[in-house]
Structure 1
Amino acid sequence: MMKLDGAISPENTLFVLLCFEGPDVYSTAGGLGTRVTELSEALASQGYTTHLIFIGDPYKPAVETRLDGRLILKRWSQWVSKYYPNGVYDGEEQKLYDYNESVPYHIFTDIVRPAVAEGKTVVVLGEDWHTSEVMCLTSDLLHWFGVRDKVLMLWNLNSLMSLNRVNWGRLNFVTTLCTVSKYMKHKMWNLGVNPLVVPNGIPSRHLNPVDPKDVERLRTIAHRGDPNRLFLFKIGRFDPDKRWIMAMEAVARLKESGHPVTLFVRGGIEPHGADVFRHAYHRGLHIQDVVAHRPTLSQCLDAIEQAGPADIYNLRFFLPEEFVRTTYAAADATLANSGHEPFGLVALEVMAAQGIAVTGSTGEDYAVSFENAIVTETDDPDELVGYLLYLNRHPEEKERMRVAGQYTAKQFVWDHVIENMIGKLEFLARKQNITLVNSGVIDVISDAPVRASMAREAGQAKGVEHSSVM
């Protein structure tokens, strides 16, 4: 006897996440890899069987299970990646072709078919433009075999890159479009689509207290004997959208007005970095490079302390999470003042560590200026200068904002975000007339001869053979 309750649960639903990036060092190029890694782990921790299909390290196992078998990592296109050792986007087009050709058959044969036979619903979530075509092809294949109505398909947009390569009419027809903020929703209106908003999240560990002794030591190092010296931090890619020049100019103007600053900088390898440091140098700011090799928190502090006096410390080494969170907590402010930010994950991480985040006015839906963060509305460096001096004159406001910011961050841990997503999935399941059951077998999918027939007709038989997961 089956009990119908209309609620999505780990007993009746499993997830398939499709993304180019993933948890391997080889597979991570930015925030997207962090997002899918943490989302998949959070889903599995809540009890959902979760498959993450990504372009993985070619020398790691093709299939790896974690969290008692609930999280299944599937490293795709490894045979292609062996020819392209420089990360996930090396050989991008070749990997994309292989991914599109082979993933749909794997999803139907090895995931959807047995799941539906057990009376379970499958949720397929694709991330960013690389998965737009594979989502369409998967939908077509599932429709051919008569199981498309058993599967919820969502496609999520995290950035505005390569949107000219997306067939919006087709994708909007076969999936439910999603994005990570109201700002991005409004951007997508210009494309003639209206996505659902499911925000990004942070792991609950980011709420763990930072050691106050490390915070105090870092502040002492940054102040260099002057307790009135402002301590600022900025981390991110060297991209004009991040408004690095605005930050450097603000630091220069603060120094000129008699308010010295220590700024910790961690950028990337992008060419814009040369423009950033050139501007700082011409504005009379003293820049000191700091190097280290995979340091611990204590070694990070030692390296900076030994670097000598400077206005700007260019941290040219991998920053361990413990050091980053300590810096968020110790700094007077972290400058996440982007002119374009789909969500603003850095600022949320700052707030989780009880830091002061300075954001832009784009995707940071959670930020309320002078309540839980500082929100800049222009690219004028004087706006930054004015807000930072205000905080310096009102330390009680600064402390209140630190507490309010962490309270906000608690609302965006992945467990809460998943609750948001489940609510939307249940709405979509009702719209699609999917029956959610607690137990029991409700259908059996036709056998391999039908699949073979489809493969011949579509000319895709070869695509089945070069699936990366063996």
Structure 2
Amino acid sequence: MIELEGAISPENTLFVLLCFEGPDVYSTAGGLGTRVTELSEALATQGYTTHLIFIGDPYKPPVEHRVDGRLILKRWSQWVSKYYPNGVYDGEEQKLYDYNESVPQHIYENIARPAVEQGKLVVIMGEDWHTAEVMCRISDLLHWFGIRQRVLMLWNLNSLMSLHRINWGRLSYVTTLCTVSKYMKHKMWELGVNPLVIPNGIPARHLAPVDPAIATRLREIARQGDSRRLFLFKIGRFDPDKRWMMAIEAVARLKHSGHPVTLFVRGGIEPHGAEVLSHAYHRGLVIRDVIAQRPTLEQCIEAVANAGPADIYNLRFFLPEEFVRSIYHAADATLANSGHEPFGLVALEVMAARGIAVTGCTGEDYAISFENAIVTETDDPDEIVGYLLHLGRHPEEQERIRCAGFRTAEQFLWDQVIENLISKLEFLARKQNIVLK
């Protein structure tokens, strides 16, 4: 048995995070990249040596140290990525093969064996289906060399994609399965497994106050001279699961019933986007594309202000974090009304900016309707319409929801999530006969 002084701490434990996505623009396609970037930084900030092995930008350094050297970024399969310039999932199968073949030996020789020889505990965490096979191979290799019992291995599920490719019996035998919400836990019950729930988190910087002058300018632009005009925002991939059609139809019904709306939209490059905007056009909504090249906050605001009157502003450029948070705060509501949402990170970010989130009712365990958010339980656009009109008639509720949402966001900072994670790890260490003194 490995014996450690005290509980799990930065002095006796190091982390290895495995994920296809990561902090590079090349490596980020959605919330998964945000999750591993923020989690790895938070662990390193707390003092833990943390290795993040991901499919990185082929033209950046293969190894990069951040957070005073405690966060080690390892850009994997760069030689493959050079042939596939269109992001992390371009050439996906080729990258997956290389990742599975080469990562296990690296972890054993360069991370796990030296750490175990120093008496340290190694925690390896894999994310989503891309890492299921490599986690199994790592476990087999560590077992072969006699150190598997000194390593904790967790595999986390963030989405329901490609689950048919996973050997659940093997994966659940060699790792502890985890997921990010009770909703996802119940989804995994259907697969015959019972994971631990360790939620997502947000960085502390998201709690910083939004500049009120910026928020006022955004509201003035969105109101277009009409103080009655609702200001809404929706951001996310153009995926049917995000219920874009429900949101667009709600905006159209509000407009045609005498309640004008300005909707800021930031989608992706998915084909569903054409269907969404076509529906908006045929429902009589005026759409303006807003284009900019890597703009600053001020340039973002100017681009929208100069676009001309519209019902929908289609923001076709990368949105700086400060701009997004300013919109969250300034808008009357952000429509995060997904029909399937494993966790709901956008809604939590809205709460942190003292905004009002309209959520679905799947993975958003933290959302309580008309307490800290607005929760939709159907795909009926009139549900959104009714709730927004109710808020308009009761402005005192708006402020109460914003304040309660902010208090909720404070409970989901990465520091709090890591405390939850460490408690789970200490439980797993006891099960594995690792003595924590």
Alignment of 1:359-438 (within 5 A): 359-436=359-436
Give the distance between the partners of 2:185 and 2:210, measured in 1 at CA. Answer: 35
Q: Is the 8 A contact 2:18 2:131 kept in 1?
A: yes
CA contact (8 A) 1:6 1:435 kept: no
1:204 maps to amino acid: A
8 Å CA contact retained: 2:56, 2:75: yes
Structure 1: gaps spanning 5 or more residues: 438-470
| One-letter amino acid of the counterpart of residue 381, structure 1 | P
Q: Tell me how far apart the structure 2 counterparts of residues 365 and 32 of structure 1 sit (CA, whole Å).
A: 18
Distance in 1 between residues matched to 2:141 and 2:185, nearest whole Å: 29
Q: Which moved more, 1:20-29 or 1:381-390?
A: 20-29
**Structure 2 residue identity aligned to 1:276:** V
- In 2, the alpha carbon distance for the partners of 1:3 and 1:294 equals 51
**CA distance in structure 1 between the aligned counterparts of 2:304 and 2:25, rounded to whole angstroms:** 26
Distance 1:261 1:91 in 2: 41
What are the within-5 Å matches in structure 2 for residues 69-88 of structure 1?
69-88=69-88
Deviation at 1:25, TM superposition (A): 1.2
Deviation at 1:3, TM superposition (A): 8.4
* Contact 2:3/2:434 (8 A) holds in 1: no
Q: How does 1:38-437 map to 2 (within 5 A)?
A: 38-436=38-436
Give the C-alpha shift of residue 6 in structure 1: 4.7
In 2, the alpha carbon distance for the partners of 1:40 and 1:88 equals: 19
Query: 1:152-177: per-residue Cα shift (whole Å, max 9, x none)?
Result: 00000000000010000000000000
Amino acid at match of 2:68: D
- Distance in 1 separating the partners of 2:289 and 2:65: 41
Offset from partner CA, 1:174-220 (integer Å, 9 cap, x none) = 00000000000000000000000000011110000000000011101
User: What's the CA shift string for 1:221-250, capped at 9, x where partnerless?
Assistant: 111111111100000111111111111111
Residue 432 of structure 2 aligns with an amino acid whose one-letter code is: Q
Conserved 8 A contact 2:340-2:362: yes
Give 1 or 2 for the bigger CA radius of gyration. Answer: 1
Q: CA deviation at 1:81?
A: 1.4
Alpha-carbon distance in 2 for matches of 1:104, 1:306:
53
CA distance in 2, matches of 1:52, 1:205: 22
Q: State the Cα distance separating 1:57 from its structure 2 match.
A: 1.2
Structure 1 runs of 4+ aligned residues shifted over 3 Å read 2-6
What's the CA shift string for 1:362-395, capped at 9, x where partnerless? 0000000000000000000000000000000011
Whole-angstrom distance in 2 between the partners of 1:169 and 1:128: 16
**How far has the Cα of 1:436 moved from its partner?**
3.1
> Across the two proteins, how many residue pairs are aligned to each other?
436
- SS of alignment partner, residue 405 of structure 2: helix
Q: How far off its partner does 1:128 sit?
A: 0.4
| Aligned partner of residue 355 in structure 1, secondary structure | coil
Q: How far 1:256 moved relative to its partner? A: 1.3
Q: Deviations over 1:35-74 (max 9, x none)?
A: 1011000000000000001111111111111111100111
Q: TM (normalized to structure 1)?
A: 0.91
Quick one: which amino acid aligns to residue 338 of structure 1?
S
Q: Which has the higher contact order (CA 8 A, sep 6+)?
A: 1
Give the Cα–Cα distance (whole angstroms) in 1 for the partners of residues 286 and 27 of structure 2.
36
Instruction: Name stretches of at least 5 consecutive residues in structure 2 with no aligned partner.
Output: none
Listed one character per residue, the Cα deviations across residues 334-360 of structure 1 (whole Å, up to 9, x for unaligned) are 000000000000000000000000000
Tell me, yes or no, if the aligned pair for 1:121 and 1:436 is still in contact at 8 Å.
no
TM-superposed deviation, 1:5:
5.0
Cα root mean square deviation, aligned: 1.1
Residue type of the partner of 1:229? R
CA contact (8 A) 1:12 1:436 kept: no
Residue 26 of structure 1 aligns to a residue whose secondary structure is helix
1:461 maps to what in 2?
none
TM-score by length of structure 2 reads 0.98
